[in-house]
Chains A and B, each alone.
Chain A
Amino acid sequence: MSSPANPYPSSQVLAPNGEASGSKPQPTISKAEQSRQRRAVQEQQRAAKAAAKTAPNVPGPSRPRSGSKLPPAPSTPKKSGAGPSKTQKDSKDAGSLAGDEFTGKSRGLRIFSHFGLPKPVSHVGKGDIHPAIVRLGLQFSEFKISGANARCIATLIAFKTVIQDYITPPNNTLSRHLMTHLSPQITHLVSARPMSVTMGNAIRQLKLEISGSDIDLPEQDAKDVLCHKIDHYIRDRIIIADQVIQEIAGSKIKDGDVILTYARSSVVEKVLLRAFSDEKSFSVIVVDSRPMLEGKKLLSVLSSAGISCSYLLLPAIGSVITEVSTVFVGAHSLHSNGAVFSRAGTALVAMMAKQHSVPVVVCCETYKYSEGVQLDSFTKNELAPSSDLLSSYPLTRPRETLNLKGQPNLEILNPLYDLTPPTSITAVVTEVGVIPPSSISSIPFALGRQTL
């Protein structure tokens, strides 16, 4: 769905998914040369655009996206010339548009212009990207793997393959060179989708392990050690942590409770299944919303397990919230002020629950903790891909009405995350226990660790 914006098309081996802009095979040009070319072309286009600007164009962050979706021909004046210019269209447009925006567009558009600029995927990576990583990048960008835990586990497993396939070049040590080998892989993944906090924490831990690996070990042993470490990380920080969370959160579920959950969190799913298998009788209300509509998956899992469920969309939550005993949500990451960064819509659910004195419980492993305070949902966010738009609408809506792309003055924003302030959260369940949100930052000290 995203087209190559990589100005360095080095091979055409990997077919881009979605509508490519038909990049022709190009000889690998040096980086500096290419960036110079790119800048020159950018200037040209900016000038051309400013001169030719008549009708209000469709600016803003969706431009690269919309441009990448449609075959590049129709909407923008196309650059004649070399292939690189065509594949550079998106980055150019972003640049020229940045220029446009600051020339008198209404304030609203400027405000949202940075809002989670989606990064188009480069399917033709520079350098050699391990095929496992390439596959992973594709899966990320198509949202086949989504969810903080799933992405982290998938990344680590892919890295295990990379490490096993890695051969230390002569005159180098594993501990020093492996990291430089891994960096471009990581960059490739990041270009598919912005890095999640979980991936970041795991990779940081991995780097630590790599730099601490024993120089004297023979290569295979060192690689094995690393793979074991990765396994242990997954096992300790994710799998076992989840089990502890299931127990602790399960104890908060009593017979006759009505549990409300939003979208799909892997942790909450496990908690509910475990509580159900512990012979507790409760019912679940699954609240869901566009753009991802992930709640349906949770709904099918829960109802096939035999739990009685209700399903409704986010706007309807006001009608049922009075009947709810507890709200369980998952998190993408936890911040030091106790705020929870989670799927867009969680903040609304937590706010409504708090209004009606319903406790809000966030189930979150400690490895999701991120330093730093985030104040609102704008600082760091991501926009959903707009390609799969149609499937998330009910079949009862006629398809023609949903095609809103080409409208002037109309922008479509689909932020994927939002920030729930600590005031709306009652408790955070982690593997170290149930903690009030404001005390999160003191946990590492309590445990005698540096980081969580």
Chain B
Amino acid sequence: MSSVSSSESERSESLQSDTQPGATSSSFDIYATYERFLQNEDISTPLAAILALTELVEKSNAGTMFELVKALNDGAKSLKEGTPNPISLNCGCELFVAFVSLFPHDSDTFSELKTELVKQGRSYAAEALGYRDRIADLSLGFIKDDSILTHSYSRVVMKTLLRAHKQKRISVYVTEARPRGLGFVLNVSSLAAAGIPCTVVLDSAVAYVMDNVDFVLVGSEAVVESGGLINAVGSHQMAIIAKAANKPFYALAESYKFHRLFPLSQYDLPTHNPSILSFPRTGTLSTLSAQPLSSSISQLHEVPTVPSESHSALLVPLSMTPEQIARNPDVDYTRPDLISLVISDVGHLTPEGVSQYLVGMFAG
């Protein structure tokens, strides 16, 4: 984390000789600020990024707009470097930076401008906390007494389901969402606590369950330029199955999650790196000790028919090692033709409608 401030001070030296050095005070650690904001459960990654950048503006010594924007870009870059999945963080950063650079700043002095920017950033974040409720209201019209399938954990979806439960009788299927199992842990406890009938389904049982379901509801990490969705891995699968079974697939996304990215395929995502889906070097298999799975496999090979052994293999909980998990993707990209509707605080959007907003913000 300290590398952040050091790189910033490096860059500040390379700036043109202006009146003031464009560095922030060396004690400003943007990543820690970001993490601090994230502590608040209600604040999602893009909002935390915006708030962190707002603080950067406040603490920055930049004297011109150019320097400020540069500082912001640097801050954004260091934030991105800090996390393995920078997509949603990127949404917030790009939105704020675009806003700042397009902010009409003809007449005011620079410090007034900065205060204004800080104020705007903070008020937006405060306003954005209400977006989830707005989305829940908008989605209400699509929910009857339905059974809903959802994937992993999303705060927006939770809010929507809890809101719908007050007026309709819904039942919810939640997928495990391995490897983190977020769906399992968080959804069931909060949903069950609210009295909504819900059950956990295996990730592999999504197709089995799909005929029984009325529609699929997922949250999002980002909604991209093509109109597609980036969300926890397994969403694309679910969308394909929903399409095959002719069920609607709705994505809930706050407007700050609109991202300028345009992935052409799963492998075009920024989170994709060569180690994902790679094969381990052969030596490593033996190093996976303390793995009930591999040991039972070797046992099965050596002793062909020992039913008790194979039985015990099933009873032992199967888990992947961290290396195996690292070889699997975190997020996937769902194509726009599989998505029926994106429900956002700006209204209902067909996937084609998303790019209208993106072009308006970032083009030209």
Contacts and interface: CB of A to CB of B under 8 A. Distances in A.
A325 to B, nearest CB: 10
B277 interface: no
Interface in B132-187: none
B76 to A, nearest CB: 46
Contacts of A355: 246
Nearest to B245: A357
A355 B244 CA distance: 10
A404 B357 CA distance: 55
B211 interface: yes
Contacts of A357: 211, 245-246
Nearest to B211: A357
A255 B211 CA distance: 18
Interface of A: 355-357
Contacts of B211: 357
Nearest to B210: A357
5 contacts: A355-B246, A356-B246, A357-B211, A357-B245, A357-B246
Interface in B200-256: 211, 245-246
A129 B147 CA distance: 66
Contacts of B246: 355-357
A357 B211 CA distance: 9
Nearest to A322: B246
A105 B184 CA distance: 70
**Nearest 3 CB-CB pairings of A with B:** A357-B245, A356-B246, A357-B246
A172 B246 CA distance: 67
Contacts, number: 5
Nearest to B244: A357
B115 to A, nearest CB: 57
B326 to A, nearest CB: 38
B243 to A, nearest CB: 11
Contacts of A356: 246
A355 B211 CA distance: 13
A357 B245 CA distance: 7
A357 B247 CA distance: 10
A356 B245 CA distance: 7
A355 B246 CA distance: 8
B236 to A, nearest CB: 21
B247 to A, nearest CB: 10
Contacts of B245: 357
Nearest to B214: A322
A452 B246 CA distance: 37
A183 to B, nearest CB: 53
B84 to A, nearest CB: 39
B212 to A, nearest CB: 12
Interface in B246-297: 246
A356 B246 CA distance: 7
B211 to A, nearest CB: 7
A426 to B, nearest CB: 14
A323 to B, nearest CB: 12
A355 B245 CA distance: 9
A189 to B, nearest CB: 46
A18 B211 CA distance: 54
A356 B211 CA distance: 10
A357 B207 CA distance: 13
Interface string B321-345: 0000000000000000000000000
A355 B243 CA distance: 11
B208 to A, nearest CB: 13
A357 B213 CA distance: 13
A356 B247 CA distance: 9
B80 to A, nearest CB: 43
Nearest to A355: B246
A257 to B, nearest CB: 14
A170 B307 CA distance: 83
A444 to B, nearest CB: 35
A203 B213 CA distance: 51
A140 to B, nearest CB: 42
A286 B211 CA distance: 24
A243 B245 CA distance: 34
A410 B246 CA distance: 40
A54 to B, nearest CB: 55
A357 B246 CA distance: 8
A355 B247 CA distance: 11
B142 to A, nearest CB: 16
B149 to A, nearest CB: 16
B147 to A, nearest CB: 14
B215 to A, nearest CB: 12
A55 B246 CA distance: 52
A357 B212 CA distance: 12
A357 to B, nearest CB: 6
A357 B242 CA distance: 12
A413 B109 CA distance: 82
B253 to A, nearest CB: 28
A83 B245 CA distance: 65
Interface in B32-77: none
A235 to B, nearest CB: 41
